[in-house]
Structure 1
Amino acid sequence: MQKKSFESLQEFEKNRDFEKIRAKLFTTPVPQQLFSFKRMLPFVAAACMIIALGGVWYYSQTNSSIPSAIQLSQMDRLPAQNRATVTFSDGRQFQLNEHESQVHMDKKGIHYDDGSAVAETQSAQFATIETPRGGVYDVILPDGTRVKLNAATTLRYPTVFAADKREVRVDGEAYFEVAKRKNQPFIVETANQQVSVLGTHFNVNTYGNKSEMKTTLQEGKVQVKELTSGKHIILLPGYQSLVNKGKLISRAVDVNQELAWVDGRFNFDGKSLFEVMDDLSRWYNVDVEYRGEIPDVEFFGGTYRTSKLSTILKILKDQNLHYHFTANGKLIIEKNGY
């Protein structure tokens, strides 16, 4: 057994020596490296970066009309969300919950639909609820009147209405469903007009500018008074009053089109580019700048207010207009080729 083991060991040693020789014969010698790639890697990366940046600069200069990936993401702005701030006359201020859409106001304070409190009135005599650009909110006033606030709108009201009248003030756009009280008229004041009702559904729009006010009646009857001249008219359903530069007129309108925003729609019928972009600017909270000569175009049709901004901006292409976003998110509109 020992001999066999020894012979086996000798055989193993012979085989091992043979394998060493074989390995030397069949191994390809590795040539000496002239340089180390790992050492050169930082320099290669830097060179690639310079080339890439140069390409981006050249592309941006020669293809400025094509939005970048960042610009494309900025185009898809979200539509208006539930955002508003309540400020009491004693200086207290509260941000309303974005997960709620409506608040109830009474002499004790403000609360949501589920009864959870926002704030107590305490000694405050007035309260102001304000929606920013890109924000909307619904309000139920102490008398039960429902008010729907559009974006960039302010509503000021007393925490307790007077015995002989219910008076509020609006700047922006708001739709009212006024609770009926025979001996306590509801009065809406704006910068240049006063709207008096007993119980009705109507819309007040002061967006145009401080000298232009529109009141559209959907149901009931209202009196509109121009404050400078004292002139007043009675509106019936389907009519709209217009106060502009001290003048007061009434005209028949398509109420469904005028109140499209209440139903969640944009109405662009008969509007200029600047009027359309004013609507979009408020709803999507985006600043707009015009460059070059912008054609005087008129739009028709509309779309849902839940649409992405980029979807609506496609209407500009039909008017030979180009748009893009700046680094700080401003929307630039210019004529193609400018």
Structure 2
Amino acid sequence: MRNIEIIEALKIGKLIGRNQSGKATEKEVDEFSEWLAGPEANQKLYDEIVDEDNIQKSFDRYGQYDAQSQWEHIEPKLKTRIRRFYPLQFVKYAAAIALPILVTTAIVLLNKNEAGQSELTSKVEVLEDQKETVLLTLADGTQVDINELQQDTITERNGVKIENRKGDVLAYNNTESSAEELIYNTLKVPVGSRYSIVLADGTQVWLNSKSSLKFPVQFGKESREVHLYGEGYFEVAKNEASPFKVYTSKGVVEVLGTEFNISDYYDDDFSAVTLVGGVVKVTNNKDAIVMAPGDQSLIYDADKHIVSQKVDPEYYVSWTKGMFEFDNQRLDYILRKLSRWYDVSVNYDYVVLKELRFTGAVESKDDIEVILSRIERTCGVYFEVSGSEITVKRD
């Protein structure tokens, strides 16, 4: 099968999945309607794809598909040709492994309203008494347990008041005065939690699970600079005289006033900057990229070129609303997201299983067993669970 045929098949699968889930954009609805109104064969293909018996047959065929032997045949070619590989060239190799199930998995959704659940081997252990708490580290090194904080305000050594608001929000005095001496606080959010902070300039930051933000109690005159580890969603207060900069492990994001998401976890190969509104500039030692809304920049290393692509930002900020939403994402990407929230480790029996793709949405308040059982029902994989370790196996 030619590359263009593969890409077209995956595109159709995605359009059907998005329309079936009710999450299609207006453009996707139009594209799907146009495709369905085309040749009579399109309607016939659609009926076959959404037929439950055919979906089950696809799963059964995958169960007999020897993906590991296909990978062992292909892997040496990847190693010998890696220096001159381009993304389109890789498609044909990935398709040889995964094509029998990709279209089906694109349209069978992780719908939280589905009835019934698969039995997992054993339950994932999430020990409540071992969970960490949200910690605020003050300039003098004092650590404040926000979960146990009783008073409404905290006072820093320079007199700045920190308000402990309802709804998991800390707020610093919003003042126009600039600090002569910068003193820093650090807010650390543990596994399975989210927290929000309003900085002294009015900028609000939402921090995801296993993330931390280092920031000045009051900003200086010339710039506003913070340091992020993990994932944060920023709504930056506009101040043309003082650019706002976010430092990550691989680069710097600079803005005047805008909304964007940054994901910069140590176990990812890249930092991802996703722009919701406004304009930002992303820089590293190699590149400087100006982004527009809907752009996503991937920074793989401080000394490598930045990769840009168009995305739907909603999927990358859904965590701020207590959701996990995925649009044709790799299983490896999805399970890394879940591992950070539920504090579990993930292993794979076959490396090719990482390449399976899914579209769907689940709530982060659900038990992980519920989410895993839904994934199990969508394609030929199952999860073997031992304590806090999950192994992904071919069904």
Identify the TM-score tier after normalising by the shorter chain. 0.5 to 0.7
Looking at structure 1, the residues matched to 291 and 259 of structure 2 have their Cα atoms a distance apart, in angstroms, of 12
Residue 322 of structure 1: CA displacement? 2.4
Q: Does 1:301 align with 2:360?
A: yes
Looking at structure 1, the residues matched to 264 and 148 of structure 2 have their Cα atoms a distance apart, in angstroms, of 25
> What is the match of residue 112 of structure 1?
164
Match of 1:318 among 359, 362, 378: 378
Number of equivalent positions = 260
More helix, by proportion: 2
Looking at structure 2, the residues matched to 162 and 287 of structure 1 have their Cα atoms a distance apart, in angstroms, of 41
More strand, by proportion: 1
Looking at structure 2, the residues matched to 190 and 276 of structure 1 have their Cα atoms a distance apart, in angstroms, of 22
Q: Does 1:331 align with 2:387?
A: no
Greater gyration radius: 1
Q: Deviations over 1:278-299 (max 9, x none)?
A: 1111112222233456633111
Looking at structure 2, the residues matched to 90 and 214 of structure 1 have their Cα atoms a distance apart, in angstroms, of 33
CA shift in 2, pair 1:211/1:279, >3 Å: closer
- TM-score by structure 2 length? 0.58
> What is the match of residue 85 of structure 1?
135
> What is the match of residue 247 of structure 1?
305
Match of 1:235 among 275, 291, 294: 291
Higher RCO (C-alpha under 8 Å, 6+ residues apart):
2
The AA in structure 2 aligned to 1:138 is S
Looking at structure 2, the residues matched to 203 and 293 of structure 1 have their Cα atoms a distance apart, in angstroms, of 29
The AA in structure 2 aligned to 1:97 is N
> What is the identity percentage for the equivalent residue pairs of Structure 1 and Structure 2?
30
- 1:213-228 matches, within 5 Å, as 213-226=271-284, 228=285
Looking at structure 2, the residues matched to 191 and 152 of structure 1 have their Cα atoms a distance apart, in angstroms, of 15
Looking at structure 1, the residues matched to 253 and 282 of structure 2 have their Cα atoms a distance apart, in angstroms, of 5
Q: Does 1:268 align with 2:318?
A: no
> What is the match of residue 216 of structure 2?
158
> What is the match of residue 144 of structure 2?
94
Looking at structure 2, the residues matched to 311 and 77 of structure 1 have their Cα atoms a distance apart, in angstroms, of 17
- TM-score by structure 1 length? 0.67
The AA in structure 1 aligned to 2:221 is A
Looking at structure 1, the residues matched to 338 and 325 of structure 2 have their Cα atoms a distance apart, in angstroms, of 11
Looking at structure 1, the residues matched to 254 and 380 of structure 2 have their Cα atoms a distance apart, in angstroms, of 46
Q: Assess if the C-alpha contact under 8 Å between 1:186 and 1:197 holds in 2.
A: yes
CA shift in 2, pair 1:67/1:309, >3 Å: closer
Residue 321 of structure 1: CA displacement? 2.2
Q: Assess if the C-alpha contact under 8 Å between 1:75 and 1:309 holds in 2.
A: no
Looking at structure 2, the residues matched to 140 and 232 of structure 1 have their Cα atoms a distance apart, in angstroms, of 28
SS at match of 1:281: helix
CA shift in 2, pair 1:124/1:282, >3 Å: same
Looking at structure 1, the residues matched to 247 and 347 of structure 2 have their Cα atoms a distance apart, in angstroms, of 32
CA shift in 2, pair 1:103/1:202, >3 Å: farther
Looking at structure 2, the residues matched to 247 and 112 of structure 1 have their Cα atoms a distance apart, in angstroms, of 41
Q: Assess if the C-alpha contact under 8 Å between 2:224 and 2:243 holds in 1.
A: yes
When the two chains are superposed, the root-mean-square deviation of aligned CA atoms in Å is 3.5
Q: Does 1:257 align with 2:312?
A: no
Residue 89 of structure 1: CA displacement? 4.0
CA shift in 2, pair 1:66/1:210, >3 Å: closer
SS at match of 1:303: strand
Looking at structure 2, the residues matched to 185 and 271 of structure 1 have their Cα atoms a distance apart, in angstroms, of 34
Q: Which residues of structure 2 form unaligned runs of 5+?
A: 1-117, 174-180
Looking at structure 2, the residues matched to 270 and 294 of structure 1 have their Cα atoms a distance apart, in angstroms, of 16
Q: Assess if the C-alpha contact under 8 Å between 2:153 and 2:161 holds in 1.
A: no
Looking at structure 1, the residues matched to 188 and 282 of structure 2 have their Cα atoms a distance apart, in angstroms, of 24
Looking at structure 1, the residues matched to 248 and 271 of structure 2 have their Cα atoms a distance apart, in angstroms, of 8
> What is the match of residue 169 of structure 1?
227
SS at match of 2:327: coil
CA shift in 2, pair 1:142/1:199, >3 Å: same
The AA in structure 2 aligned to 1:108 is V
Q: Assess if the C-alpha contact under 8 Å between 1:104 and 1:140 holds in 2.
A: no
Residue 66 of structure 1: CA displacement? 6.9
The AA in structure 1 aligned to 2:163 is H
SS at match of 1:280: helix
Structure 1 segments (4+ residues) deviating >6 Å: 75-78, 102-106
Residue 75 of structure 1: CA displacement? 6.7
The AA in structure 2 aligned to 1:91 is G
Q: Deviations over 1:135-180 (max 9, x none)?
A: 2111111111100001111100112211111100111110001111
CA shift in 2, pair 1:268/1:168, >3 Å: same
Looking at structure 1, the residues matched to 381 and 126 of structure 2 have their Cα atoms a distance apart, in angstroms, of 18
CA shift in 2, pair 1:285/1:109, >3 Å: farther
CA shift in 2, pair 1:67/1:200, >3 Å: closer
